Every structure is written in C-alpha cells, then in structure tokens.
Structure 1
Amino acid sequence: MRVGMLPAGIAIALAPAFASAQESGETQQATNLDRIEVTGSRIRGSDMETQQPIITLSRQDIERQGFTSVADVLQNLTSAGSPAIARSEALASGENVGGYYVDIRNLGATRTLVLVNGKRLGATTGGYQDLSQIPMSAIDRIEVLKDGASAIYGSDAIAGVVNVITRKRYEGAEASAYLGQYGEGDGDTQQYSFTMGSSGDRGGVTLSVEYFKQEPVFAKDREFSKYGNAGPDYPGSGWSPVSQNGSFCDPCSPTSAARWWTLNDGGNPANRADYHEITAAEYANSNEQMYLQTGIERRSVFANANYDITDNITFNADILYNHRSTDQQIAGYPYQSGSFGTPLDADSVFNPMPGDTAFRRRLWEVPRTTQSDLETYRFAGGFNGYFELAGRGWDWDVGALLNRNTSTRSSRGDMSLIASRQALGPSFIDADGVARCGTAADPIDGCLAWNPLLPYGVDGPGSLADPDLQNFLFPVFTNTGLTRTTSYTANVSGGLFDLPAGEVGLAVGVEHRKEQGRYVPDAFAQSGESTGLGATTTEGSYNLDEIYMELNVPILADAPFAKELTINVAGRYSDYSNFGDTTNGKFGFTWRPIDELLVRGTYAEGFRAPTIDNLYGGIGTSFESYTDPCGTGAVNSVNGNAACNAAGVPAGYVQLGQGLVPCTTYPCQTPDQFISGSNAELLPETSKSRTAGLVWSPRWVQGLDISLDWYRYELENMIISDSVDRILRDCYVLGNADRCNGITRAADGHISSLFYGLANLGSMETEGFDLGVKYRLPELSFGQFTIDWQNTYTSKYDEEGENSDGEKIMIGQVGQSGIFRLRSNLGVDWQMGDFGANWTARYYSGMKESCVTARPCTSPDHYANGEPDAIREVGSNTFHDVQVNYKTPWNGTVAVGANNVFDHQGPLMFSNSSYRHSDYPYYGGFDIGRFVYIKYTQRF
C-alpha cells in the first residue's frame, strides 16, 4: 500500500540525514584561512563580502530544509520569483522542460546568472541554466548575490548571481538516504547519495554520486485541479466539448449554429437514429488524465581533484556528469476533423450520414506522454597560483570550461495525419471482423480503419482501444538537441600600492566564450503532418571576447565616524559576433561609521545578450488560451467599438473555443494553432540597478545581526515573447492598428490565425526592500536557539504598456500571483546536545487578479490607468515546515520532517495570468500538499 511506504521507512531506518556540525565547522574554519574570492568581486579577500547584499547558505542550512534540489532551496528565498517552468505546467514543451531554474526578483530565470565554483553553468538554447544538474551531496555552500554584476561576470547577471560552491579536499566518506511522499500517498520520492574523498599534504580528490527519483502526481488527486480549470465550485465549467465519446456535426452550415450528436449507450454506431445531441455533462474533463506534477529521475556524478604542483601553483579540475529524465502526461488530443481537413469519408463503413461528415473526438485511449532526457558532460579545469611582485602578493588563474548538453525528447499520443487520412477514408469490415482501409476489392495493405464515433470504453471494429490501430495511428516522435559552451579565462588580482587607509586592490581578466546550440523537432512536427504542435529547427552559434578590470580603493580607516570607507569600481567590455559590443560598469562603497554599523551601496549597469533560441529559433505553434476583448462574454468587453467592427466582428459576438463552441469561462483555448517565432535582429537587454543598505550588529546584544537593503532595477529593450492577450488589448482596446497586422479572423468572427514573436518590446521597473534579522540567543539550560527572519517587500513592479490614447505608461503588477507585496520566512532552530529541531514559516501576502465571468469580483468598480479593471482579491498564505533530528552514537544523523506540515492549500485563481506558471487554477509556486520525509546520513 503506497500510503504505508513512508511510515514503514521511518520504522525500519530510524536514521536519516543531516551533515555533521563538527565537519561543517571544520570546513568553515579551513575556508576562512584561505584568500577567498567572494561572489560579486574578483579581488580576493574575505572583506569584500560586506560591500554587496549576499546570502550564504551553508551545507547545514540546506540540509535543515528537507529539499532535494538546489533550485527548491533557492525557490524558498524571499527574493526568489515565480518558478520559470513549474512542474505543474503540464502543457509546457521544448528542451527546457524538466529543468530546475532560479529567478531572482521576478526578473526571469535567464536574467540570473548561475555559476559553479565561479564558472558558468551550461545553458539551453533558450539561455536556461538547469540547477538540477548539481548533486546536493557535492555542495559545500551556496552564495546568492542580489545585485547586478555584468561588470564582473558579463551577460545574464542582471538580477543577481548564484554561485554553487562544491566540497574540496574532503576526507572520509558519507552515505545518505532520503524517502518522502505527499500526505495523499503520491509523489513518492527517493534520493540516495555517496560522497568520499581523500586528501594529503599536496592535494585531494572528492567524489559525489547521487540518484534521485520522484513519481508524478495526477491532477485528479487534488481538489483544486481535479474539476478542470474552473475549480470545484463550478464542476463541468470549462470542460472541453471535444468529448472522448466522439460526436458528429449535423447541421454544419457556417451560417447557422452547429449541432453535435453522440452515440447512445448500447447504440449502433452505423444507425443515425441511435445518436442524441451531446450535453455538457458529456464534455471531457482533460484534468482526469493530466499530471499535476511531472515525474523526474536524475543520476549525477561530480568529482573534484586538486594538486599543489609547487608551493605556489595548484591544478584544479571539476568533472560533472548528469542524466535527467522527466515524464509528462496530458490528456488525449482533442481531434477536430475541421482543423485538419479530415472528415469521416462518405464511403467509410462507420459513417452514419450521407456524404463526408465532420466530427470531433478526444483521443482518450492514448494520453499524450513525453519523456525528456538531458545528458550533461562538464569539465572545468585550470591552474591557479600566487606570486609576489615588488613585495606585494598577487593571485592568478587560467582555466577552460567545456559544457555539453544533449537532449532527447520522445513523445507519443499525437496522431499521424498521414495515417488518419487513410483510417478515415473508404473502409470495410473483412471476414475476420477487422476494419480495414480501402475496399474489399482493393484493400490498402497495412492500413486499419478508425471509427471516431465509437465512444471510449466501447468495443467494436475500428475502436481506438485496439493496440494494432494505436500502433498504426500513433507513432513515437523524437526531438533532439545539443548545446555546447566553451570558455577560456585568465585572471590576476593583487595589491597595487598602499594608501593611508590600506592597500589598493586590482583585478584584471579576459574571457573568450563560444555558445553553440541546435534543437531539431521530429520530422512530423516540421512537416505539420501530425496533430502535434508544429515546429522547425533551431540552430546557431555566436562567440565573444571580454576584458574587465576591478579596483578596490580604501579611502579612510580608523577615523572618526569612518572606521572604514572603501569604494569599488569595475568595468567590462564585451565584443559579440552577432550584435556588436557593449560596455558595462559598476560602482560600490562601504562605509563603517562605527564598528557595529555598516552602510553600503552599489550602482550597476547590466545586459543580457539574446540567446540562440531568441535569434535563430524556428517557427512554433501552440493552442493558446486567451480572452478576446471583442467578445461579449468577457469582462471589460469592447464589442462594437471601431477596431472590432473594422475586423468584421459581429455585434453580440461570443468568443469561440475548442470545437467552435461559445466560451463560458475565460481565458478560453483557441480551436486553431497560433504561430510564434524568433527574431535575428534582436539587441541585448540593458539594465541599471541600485542598492543601498545597512548592516547593524549591536555590541550590547551578542549574536544579533540586522540588515536592511533597498533595491531598484530598471530594464530596457527587454526581449519578451509577445502574448496573445497583449496583442489583442493593444489592437482592439488601445486602438494600435500596427498590432492588428498578425491577426486573422474567420467569417464567424473568431480568430483563426495569429502570429506572435520576440521583440525588444519595452521596459520594466521594480523596487523594494530586504530586511533580515538573525539572532543567536545565549545558550540556555534547555538548548541553543537561533532565529532567522528574512523579508522581501516589493513596493514596485511595473511593466510598460499603453493607455487608451496610445501613450506609454507603466502598469503596476504588484499583487499579481508570484509578484507578492511581501514574502517573509521566519525560522527557529533549536539544538541541544545530539538533538535538534527546526521550524520555518513561509508567508506570502495576498494576491489579486482580473475578474472573469461567473466569478465573484471583490472590487467590480476598480479602475487602473483610467480604464475599467474589475479585480478579485484573495488573502495571504503561510506554509509551515518542521524537522527534528538526532545524531547517533555511531556517527550518523537521522531526521524526520514535513514541508507544509498543516497541509495548507492556497486559493483558486481563475485567470490564466494569475495562476502563473501552472496549467491549473492554482499558483504554480505554492505547495500542492503536505510532504513528509525521512533522511539518514552515515559518516565513516
């Protein structure tokens, strides 16, 4: 019994995982003795960390949280934005699906740079950097810089930098096991790892091996996702009229309302009299077959080796292998013969009507399944050393990075149109009762006929349940991809000369990098000969050369009201083969008026270069969900205005969805494929960021540290995938005729074709505050307590838009799902001898969304930017995590914990933009249930 797996594991093991505090302390002590390079600066020296807002997560911090990937840990930082591709996005496609990505400040995952030991993590053709490649067992600490750093690291470091630092010169061995599952008895999770290392006087080798697997979760097993996108209060609402029971159209005149007929229970599919008009109760709830959370399996190996060739020269190498496999499932395809010109032929043995017959049938017997495999090989190696020049110490390093990602995406469940045209054509029943294509006198070899009007679960000739017919109609589609990152770097840093306040530090470096990528869709997708989304090949490359310089200048030291005053300046010149060159700078200062108070600030310029997919991506198609402002069924309809009339939209028009049935809920999915594409003329995005903050450690309260940082980001020339809703609003609501050019409407008024692509569309601004309070209380007779309270308050998150007069304005987004006014984490840790416990409360402030039909509006008369903007608001949400642990006498650690221990569920969100990063009416960043786990770590 699945529910019993975890309790049994607890009873058997009574010994899951936690890293030794003694080992962590020894590691930290060793690190502090080195001249380290802190994330955000190339000048080695531990005092650089205080100049910028940096969060450091130690190995012990990570293990207390009970998560199984780096991205899960980072996603729970208060400064983290919505997940780039949540595992609840069942309909997501392409090479990025299955990866784990981090997004700082809600600026997008491609605007946060990810490093491993200071070197770039390889990216997909879309620029996404998959953190799941890094085995948790290999990590020593994670440093998160919440500030722009393009002057130091180049492209992508707009929002911040995540630097994952691995264990080195580890001595001994460590084995760990992790088991977990949701309270509903699903999402079974297992993770096993082994780390061993050996070190000597001149070097060491550390090896980490990890295996992880988590089973998928079905949407039908959660209340918020089982009823379709309308939620449990509206069962059946929003279900698809393209039913698994099949139906045909009679009449089908374009000038009158279509009527659809489906087979009676036990009826004869060849007898027209045995059909009745389909009812809403017979519509399809696609969520019954869809995953709420994708399944994933990973195998990782990470090795580090370093050797002191001489006292001043060291060789260092990192090697990573990772294989990730992700499973997706969505409902059988909603086949509509009118979309492909494949009616049931007049001479089909299954046709109950005279002449060719239009039909629709959801292919329920063969759900659409996809397995996405990504294999990563990574080598980062080089030499570093130390020398003295004119009595001053200098550090240097040269290195190379080779990262190769190979992806294979195999899917089944979309129908071959080549096969369906034959299977729906003339047919007959042979002497064995098998439905075959052609005629008895002239059969088509190897072709089986299909009866799309035979309901799901009903046997008979031409049934889609026939395995042979499935094999004929449903091929396996395979997409392949390959990306390579090659980089060569050289850096030197040291002291130039002394000022009265100290030594002036300098860092200079050069980098040459080449990015190559290719993603090749299956031949069926490229030819359009399947029900799947069309796509063409993405392929391209670019290279760049960069040089940077950084100076750290101490101005004052040990002066009245200036125990320290230091400035830091940096600049980087980048020359790209595709768009040209760019220069970016950064300035920072540190002022310590008294010993316990630090004042800091930065100003940084940043950029993000367009990716291979941005520039050279192929054409893609999708069935988008949107709200047509020319339809009368939607809130804030503009039906009858000049723009809608000019497009030929009839008065009183109601938006048509799948099966050309009038929509009753919004957003509503189009019955026709829309087209998207790349843009070879894109320019880099640019940004400016500012931070200012205080760090206060009052001497009269030992163990208390308080930090308060203000931040502001301004982005220009953003590379954004245009949205259907944005285009329609610009065209019909704001009256921008240029935005109407890619829209085609059919005679009945519905949008039959629409193109949306990439462009340097506009700008955005975000501003807010981070407040952190850490307090390690004096040790008491009943244990040691540590309190950690982290907060991010977003005061502004504005995106560029236009008002009704066509003037550009900034539209506020704070309060939308994922862009929370306040995120707050409060953690309390208790340690007493060999026992410990940890509790964390994760708080998200309330959300708002635009009202949609048939839903209550809390503010129906709300206006924004001078236009009606009825909204619905919901309250805040708090999720609680707990863990207890025990260090055994045999050098092991056992921990039992639960994330979302009270099984809290967030509110339903009904508009597509509001449930953000999810295909269900629920914010994709919220917990989907109580998750209970047990960990055991044994050190040798």
Structure 2
Amino acid sequence: MLNTKVTKAVRIALAFGAASSAAVANVAMAEEGAEKVERIEITGSRIKRVDMEGASPVEVITSAEFESQGRVSVADALQSVTSNSFGSFSPSSGSGWQSQSTVSLLGAGQDRTLVLVDGKRMAGSPSLGGSAANLSAIPMAAVERIEILKDGASAIYGSDAIAGVINVILKKDYEGASFDIQIGRPEAEGADSKQMSMAFGISSDKGNITFVYDHQTRTPIFERDRDYTKKQLNDDNGDGIVTIYDETVGVSYSSATFQKPDGSWVASENCNELSKTVPGFVGELGTSNGGTVCGYSFADVAANSASTKRDSVMTSLTYSLTDDLELYARAMLSRNDSFGRYAPPASSIRGMAADHPLNETGIEGTNGFFRWYQVGNRDTNVTDYQQDYMIGLKGFFGETAEYEIAYHKAKLDYRRAGRNYLSLGGLAYNFDRLNDKNPIVQGSEEWNNNLATTVYVEDQNELNHIFGGVSFAAGELTGGEIQHYIGAEYFDQELRSQYDAQSEAGLVGGSAGNSAAGERDTKAVFYEVAMPVLDNLIVSAAYRYDRYSDFGSKGTPSFKVEYRPVDDLLVRASYSKGFRAPSLNELLAAPSESYPQVFDYVQCERNGTAPEDCKKTAPQNLRNGNSNLGPEESTYINAGIVYSGFEDVGIKLDFFSLEIDNVISLITVQDLMNAEYAGVLSNIEQSYPGVNLDRFDNGSVKGVVTTRYENGSFMSRKGLDLDLSYRLDTRFGEFKFKKVTTYILEAEEDVFFGGPAQDFAGAPETPEWRSQLSVNYSIDNVAINWTTDIVASTAEDEVLRVANNQFSYEFSNHNPTYIVHNLNAKYFTEGYGTLTLGVRNLFDKGVVLDDAGRWVDYSIYGAGHIGREMFAGYNISF
C-alpha cells in the first residue's frame, strides 16, 4: 500500500521546504517502476492527494527549519511566521492570561485561527474562554512539522477556521534516540532560558512506538530592569508640576487619592510623608484637569513578562492489526508553571461617608483610591495541566476506500493562585474594631494580617470528540477518478471557571472575575469531492453542516480550482464561506472588572487639550457576557500561482480577501468614548441596554463604565502572500535562500462598535507587511543559519478626527521598519553529537519608544524587550 520511493521524496521535500515541495509530484511520477504513488493528506482537505501544492496555499515548516531559525518553542516558532501579522499574545505577568501564548493569522484575532494537532481540533484554553488554543501546551520536541493553511476552512473543519488553520504534526515514526540541551542568556537582566528534551522510538514491521519528553524554562523580566519601563517622573513642560500619566512612566494614582462628588481630584495630605517612609510612594502629582493625586511606583516591584516552566510528555503508537487495518494512539501530557508579580493591591472605597475613618475630605460621597501596601506585593502562580488522548483505527476496503474512526479526549485544568490581595471583609472588620474597648491599632501586625487574603481560580475545559470518515473513488472524468470524502463528528465541551468564594462575593480588592460555567455539544456532517475534469484541471467542493446545542445551526460551502497549463505552473483559486460560533465565555461570562487604558477625547476636549496631545487614562470597566449572541459569518477568496520552472527555484504568489460580518466583539470603553466624541453615544446605549458611560459635570468619568459582547462589527483583510526559495550547490558548499512576505493591503475595522469602517493598515500595531528571510549555508560538518525577521513601519500616533459627520483615525509619525537578525552555527561531529552556538537578536535591536520615551508594548516588537541573547546547545542521536 506504500510506495517507499515516493515517501522518501515527500520527506526530502518537507526537509527542504517550499522550493522542493512543489516538485514532489514530479519526483514521484518520474520514479521508474512506480506503479502506484502514495497519496498524502495536506491541511485544508481530507482527500489525500499526490501533489503537495493544491488549490489552497499551505506553508509547510519543518522542526529542523524552526531550529535553524533559533526558535525555542512552538509559540516562538508560530509567532515569527509572517502570516501571524499582529495581535498574538505572549506570557504577561499578573494577568489572567499569564501563562498563555496564542497566534493570530492575518491579525484577525486569536479566536479566528483554528489550531489542529494531527488534523484534529486542539482543545481551547479555559483561561481564554475555550475559544483559542494555548500554544505553550505543545512540546516543541514532539513536533515533526507545522502546516499553515492560508485559506478559510470552515467547510472542512467547522467553527473558528476563518482566517486560516495551523496544523501541528507530531512525530509518529521516530526510530532511535536523541538528547537535546540548550541554554540562553540575554545581555539584559531577565529572560534566561533553558531547554532539555529526549526522544526515543522503536519500529518493527508491525508498527512504531515514539516517546518524547520536553522541558523548558524562562525567567521573568521586571519593570525596573529596563530603562523604558522603570519609574520615570519628568516635568516635561517645565511648569514645576509632574502630571500623572502625561509625564510619568510606571506610576499610578491609586495610592492615597480622593475624588470628590463633583469629580475633582485631591491627593491625601499624608502623601508626601508616605513618599519618605513607604517604598513605592512618589509624592503628590498633578492631573490634566488641575487636581492633584498621590503617586505610587508599581514599576519598582512589578514584572511585565512572566516566568515559565514547561514539562511535556508525548507518546504515540501505531500498530498494524492486519494488512488492511491499523491501530493508532497518542497521549500528550503537559504542565506549565508560571510566576508573575504585581505591586501591592490597589482598591477603591466608593461613596465614603463624611465620617469614614479614611475620608480626609470630610465630604459625603467621596471616592477613595488607596494602595494597600501593608499586605505586600501580589504574587501570582499559575499551573496549567493538560491531558490529551486519542485512539483510532485506520483501514482499507474495496479497491479505493479508506476509513478512519477516532475518539479524542482532552482535559485542561488551569489553576491560578494570587497571594497578598486585599480582603475587603478583613478591612471592614478592622474598621468595626476601631470602636471596641480594645481597638486594633492601625498599622499593627494584627491590622495588616487581617487585610491580606489569597485568591484562587480554577479554569477547566473538557472536550470529548468522536470522529469518523471514509474516502473513496466513484465515477471517472477525463482527468481520472472522482475522489469523495464523507464524514461526521461529535463534540461535547464543558467549560468551568470557579473563583474563590470571597472573590465571587466581591470581597477582594485588587482582583477581578466571577465564576461561570457552560456546556455545549456540536454535531457535524461534511462532504468533500475532488473532480479531475481534465488531466490538468481539478475542481473541488465541500460542504459542512454544524448543529450547536446552544445557539443553532450553520452550513458552510467551499469551491476550489487548480489548473496546470504546463507541468511547472499551477494556477489556483478558492472561494469559501466560514463562521465562528460564539464562545461559551462570550455567551456566559459573569461580570468582571478591569481598568483598560483608553484615550478620553471628550475629557481632553473639555480641558482644552488637542486630540493629538490627549493621553491615556484608565477608568473602571465592568464587562458582561451575552447569552443572545449569534455566529460570525465570513467569506474568504484566494487566487494564486505556483511556479517551479527554474531549477532549484520555487515561486508562490497568492492574493487573499477575507470579509467577516456580524463580528462578535466586546463593546469596549474606547468604543463608547469614541462614539461619545462623535455625538452618537446615546444610539449605542439605547440599542444595547446595559451598556453605559456617565460623567460628572467637570467631564470626569462617573462610576463604572459597563460594556458587553455583541454581534454587529465588521472586519476585512486583503493582501498578498509571496514565497520565494532558491537552492544553490557550489564547490564551496550548499546555499539555501528563502523569503516569505505577507502584505496586508487592507485591514478594515469599525472606528467604534457599529460605526464607520476604516482601513487600519499601517496604524499602530498593524504593519502593512511582515517578511522573513533565511539563508542557510552548509559544507562538510558545518552549517550556518541566518534569519532576518522584518516588520514594516507603523504609525506611532493615532488621533480620532470628527469633521462634517466623518469619523476616522488619523495616523502620523511613523516608526521605522523593525528588523531583527538571528544567527547560529552548527558543527556535526563524527559520532559525538552536534554543537550549536548562536545569537538571537544579533544586533541588539531595541524596543520601539514613542516621542515621549514610553515603551510601545506590542507583540510584534517582542524581540527587542528580551534584547540580544546568546545561546548554546548540544544534541546527540543514536
């Protein structure tokens, strides 16, 4: 049933990448005596095929290629690809997503990129609401290759495959043993890394057993250890007053500050004394509207990048029960520990009575914002457990038919413990004891112990998945047999988020979140057909029908054409409809609090501040789920060519167009402020009851801004993918060149929820293109690998303009193109293993700073935050 020569050709193509992958079919067909070629399954279709290149563009990157680029994890590898345009997430200290890493193809959002493992849907992270996969859970040492489908694929895989699909293919037929170790050390403080892995495999004529263990660690980066994140207090305008946020970095007003009922701000009369006696307090600062606040430097103690420690085990088995029936099984277990640190809890007491012990103003209804330094720094420890099991049968019957039946179970258990948070119950108890015969003394050990509490969250996602499908040939056209695939699958997902009782009751300061739980099941049937109309023309179609237990049903079709006018040229096109089901978190999330950074254009206008000079503020926000959400709907069009007519040269060019209607999104605080600035806030508040933004007479935000998830936004992505490769053999060694570029010609989104749409290509954090150039040189026992990651120039400033009923952002003051070089050299000894020395971010490309010297904290510039990193590794295989 297998043609070993063709299999070898496929493996060679995967090793060499795009240049030779386009030629696999030619190699296979040219083998003399090859009576029957092996068909392989490529991401984007369930019908196996001979050609690596088909109607949908698929970028295949082997683990060897990622290793040559110096990537240390699956997340690092995928976040570096050019189609991950913007919007991915890396471990960030102290947040609910502290241990998470995601990918966002075309910048369309992490929940619009479907992640598969061996062609089956990867269970979503419970910390991300079950809607996006946590790449940190996949052991890099277990990966054979990664296939990136740059096309919509809901007709094949169902929900979430809107912007593309990432299929992580794990090792299955490994034979022998290998040991790997690598140590990395940046020049700047923090982010030290260690990696160790082992792989074992045994094969026989009946099957194979593979075992992989992977261990990785990286230390945190603290704010104080970078010049651009450490505490900064600068009187930039020379007026003798340092203004909070406008002229500070790493400083918060939530320390000892009061807001009177009229909206005016005033610092505690003890503020300057606290700055002399309590670490972190920086004294009295000004505000943009003429008030004063008490500043606290959270940057002195907080970490911005969390530490990580990952341990993963993967084992797989294949066993031939008969000549026509194979059993396969896989188990993947992982544990990810992460540590993050925040400053002591900041928590407000709103509407204080005039005689409240902490109300220095003596005015009824005053709001107090305090830093509860007495309880110490907030330390967050996250432990993610993931279990993923699969067992199935693959078999053959008749002349052409193949079938597969599989059961897949995943259980993700993420636990987060936060120490030294504020107990509001303990605070109330202390206040009550002030009037006792034996009162508690403020600041005493007993007083402080009563203030501290530990928060605990358990996020769980459990997935049960049953899959079955059969492929067969039936009917014949001029170009050959018509290939069919019929399948069905069933998903059962249960998502739970359980907070400790004190947090759920709202009795914890400096924390946010409430318990939520939900369950859904999904039934799907699908059909795919590939029709060889001519010897050089294949027309394919697919249709999938999904039925959800909680919101309804959705059917999605796709149509594809691949035409080869000559052997070396492939012309391809595809049209597909897609959808994304609302996540359980979006449907069922309980209210949770946050303090988002926003531009308050209305307040700035009232203060006489020009829009371009408006600085960010952080109002309190209460976010809500919405049980009435419907699905998003999308259309993806792709058209391109693949040319391999030049020897050792590969050329691929594809145009893509993605449009998403009825987008599910959070109506953010910034949306409401933009709508208010445009004069249409009341329209949104009337259309979506419960969404609300109020102000004091002086323009300050009053109380809590309430928001929720809704359908109604619009999003589009249009662009080009260009993939060039060249292989050159010389008497001085072999050179391999590869350049992949993703151009975003249009990145259209709403200016505010339900408002006018605008093209954001080139806006902050939205580069118009990303490119990656790799040069590999090898001679004898030496290999040198140079990789250059390039991010196009982006605007530094964005300002919302309102004129003649036209609402749009104006972008200006562009940052330069961001270029990072990575270099490593390998020496292959004779029987003693391989030595590796390398440098990530060779020329120490720094972070991007704005004109005021503030850090532009975007994931696309993440290499600069770590800085130049030396690393060394050793591998030996038997």
For normalisation by structure 1, the TM-score amounts to 0.81
Distance 2:143 2:263 in 1: 66
Structure 1: how far apart are the matches of 2:101 and 2:557?
Answer: 30
- Distance between the aligned counterparts of 2:10 and 2:876, measured in 1? 13
1:829 to 765, 773, 776: 776
Is 1:292 the counterpart of 2:230 in the alignment?
A: no
Relative distance call for 1:239 and 1:771 in structure 2 (3 A) is closer
- Separation (CA, whole Å) in 2 of partners of 1:731 and 1:225: 32
Q: Does 1:819 align with 2:766?
A: yes
Query: Is the 2:672–2:752 Cα contact (8 Å) retained in structure 1?
Result: no
Relative to total residues, which structure has the larger strand share, 1 or 2?
Answer: 2
The structure 1 residue matched to 2:625, chosen from 668, 672, 678, is 678
The structure 2 residue matched to 1:362, chosen from 371, 389, 407, is 371
8 Å Cα contact 2:503/2:513 also seen in 1: yes
Alpha carbons of structure 1 residues 160 and 253: separation in structure 2 relative to 1, 3 Å: closer
RMSD over equivalenced CA pairs, Å:
3.7
Cα contact 2:231–2:248 (8 A) shared by 1: no
Match of 2:313 among 292, 301, 309: 301
Q: Find the counterpart in structure 2 of residue 9 from structure 1.
A: none
1:625 matched residue in structure 2: 597
Paired residue for 1:705? 650
Correspondence for 1:718 = 663
Equivalent pair of 2:422/2:452 in contact (CA under 8 Å)? yes
Residues 1:570 and 2:542 are matched in the alignment: yes
SS in 1 for 2:514: coil
C-alpha displacement at 1:809, in angstroms?
3.1
> Partner of 1:521 in structure 2?
499
Q: Deviations over 1:436-484 (max 9, x none)?
A: xx54x345xxxx5434xxxxxxxxxx3xxx5x65543111110112111
Cα deviation, residue 893, structure 1:
1.2
CA distance 1:586–1:359, shift in 2 (3 Å): closer
Q: Which of 594, 610, 618 is 2:566 aligned to?
A: 594
State the Cα deviation string for residues 527-584 of structure 1 (Å, max 9, x = none). 1112134432221111111111111111122xxxxxx111111111111111211110
How far does the alpha carbon of each residue in 1:483-506 deviate from its partner, in whole angstroms, 9 at most, with x for none? 111111111112113222111111
Q: Give the C-alpha shift of residue 781 in structure 1.
A: 2.0
Match of 2:700 among 750, 763, 772: 750
Equivalent residue of 1:719, what SS? strand
Change (3 A) 1:421 1:665: farther
Q: Deviations over 1:627-654 (max 9, x none)?
A: 222213xxxx3x4xxxxxxxxxxxx488
Q: 1:147 aligns with which of 148, 151, 155?
A: 151
Name 2:789's counterpart in structure 1.
842
Give matches, 1:751-790, under 5 Å: 751=701, 752-777=703-728, 779-790=729-740
Q: 1:547 to 1:102 in 2, by over 3 A?
A: same
Q: Give, as a single letter, the amino acid of the residue that structure 1 aligns with 2:299.
A: N
Alignment of 1:40-51 (within 5 A): 40-47=44-51, 49-51=53-55
Matched, 1:873 2:823: no
Task: Look up the match of 2:869.
Answer: 931
Whole-angstrom CA distance in 1 between matches of 2:58 and 2:627? 36
Q: How far did 1:780 drift? A: 1.4
Q: Which amino acid aligns with 1:894?
A: L
Cα 1:357–1:835 shift into 2, 3 Å? same
The CA distance in 1 between the partners of 2:563 and 2:593, in whole Å, is: 54
The amino acid that maps onto 1:287 is A
- Is residue 488 from structure 1 mapped to residue 480 from structure 2 by the alignment? no
Query: In the alignment, does 2:802 pair up with 1:896?
Result: no
Query: Scaled by the length of structure 2, what TM-score is found?
Result: 0.87
1:510-538 deviations in Å (ceiling 9; x for gaps) = 11111110101222221111213443222
* Mapped partners of 1:91, 1:821: distance in 2: 31
Measure the CA separation in 2 of the matches of 1:301 and 1:620.
35
Partner of 1:416: 423
Corresponding residue of 2:196: 192
Distance change (3 Å), C-alpha of 1:357 and 1:344: farther
Partner of 1:278: 284
Alignment CA distance shift 1:212-1:225 (3 Å): same
Letter in structure 1 aligned against 2:380: T
Letter of the 2:660 counterpart: L
Is the Cα–Cα contact under 8 Å of residues 345 and 355 in structure 1 kept in the other structure?
A: no
1:100 CA displacement? 1.6
The yes-or-no answer on 1:387 pairing with 2:397 is yes
1:120-519 matches, within 5 Å, as: 120-123=121-124, 124=126, 125-227=129-231, 237-238=247-248, 247=256, 254=262, 258=266, 260-262=268-270, 278-279=284-285, 283-338=295-350, 345=357, 361-364=370-373, 366-388=376-398, 392-424=399-431, 427=434, 438-439=435-436, 441-443=437-439, 449-451=441-443, 462=444, 470-519=448-497
In the alignment, does 2:40 pair up with 1:39?
A: no
Give a deviation string over 1:857-890, Cα, whole Å, max 9, x none. Answer: xx99999956683633222111111111111112
Counterpart CA distance in 2 for 1:231 and 1:372 is 39
Please give the secondary structure, in 2, of the residue aligned with 1:423: helix
Q: Secondary structure of the equivalent of 2:335? A: strand
State the Cα distance separating 1:175 from its structure 2 match: 0.9
Shift of 1:821: 0.9
**Preserved CA contact (<8 Å) 1:345 1:425:** no
Within 5 Å, which residues of 2 pair with 1:655-670?
666-670=615-619
Q: What do the CA deviations read for 1:103-158 (whole angstroms, capped 9, x no partner)?
A: 11111111111111111111133411112211111111111101101111111111
CA gap of 1:368–1:66, structure 2 versus 1, over 3 A, is same
After TM superposition, the structure 1 stretch with the greater mean CA deviation from structure 2, 360-369 or 25-34, is 25-34
Decide which moves more: 501-510 or 738-747.
738-747
Q: CA deviation at 1:34?
A: 4.7
Q: Deviations over 1:808-830 (max 9, x none)?
A: 53211111233211211111000
2:676 to 731, 752, 766: 731
Letter aligned with residue 766 of structure 1: R
Q: Is the 8 A contact 2:674 2:752 kept in 1?
A: no
Find the aligned partners of 1:298 and 1:231 in 2 and give their Cα distance: 44
Inter-partner Cα distance in structure 1 for 2:159 and 2:394: 24
Q: Which residue of 2 aligns with 1:117?
A: 118
| Secondary structure of the corresponding residue to residue 258 of structure 1 | strand
CA displacement at 1:337 relative to structure 2: 4.2
- In the TM superposition, what is the alpha-carbon distance from 1:917 to its structure 2 partner? 5.2
1-structure distance, mates of 2:636, 2:274? 68
Query: Which residue type is aligned with residue 936 of structure 1?
Result: Y
CA contact (8 A) 1:734 1:802 kept: no
Per-residue deviation, 1:612: 0.9
Contact 1:897 / 1:934 at 8 angstroms: preserved in 2? Answer: yes
- 1:883 is aligned to 824
Q: Secondary structure at the match of 2:699?
A: coil
Displacement of 1:666 after TM fit? 1.7
SS of residue paired to 1:177: strand
CA–CA separation in structure 1 for the residues paired with 2:235 and 2:561: 52
Higher relative contact order (CA 8 A, sep 6+): 1
Residue in structure 2 matched with residue 104 of structure 1 by the alignment: 105
Query: Relative to structure 1, is the Cα distance of residues 344 and 882 closer, same or farther in structure 2, using a 3 angstrom cutoff?
Result: farther
Retained in 1: the 8 A contact 2:798–2:809?
no
Are 1:581 and 2:553 counterparts? yes
Provide the rounded CA distance (Å) in 2 between the counterparts of 1:198 and 1:306.
Answer: 11
Structure 1 CA distance, aligned partners of 2:851 and 2:410? 41
Residue 377 of structure 1 deviates from its aligned partner by 0.9
1:738 offset after TM fit, Å?
2.4
Q: Residues of 1 paired with 2:116 and 2:853: CA distance?
A: 33
CA gap of 1:354–1:600, structure 2 versus 1, over 3 A, is: closer
8 A Cα contact 1:618 1:677, kept in partner:
yes
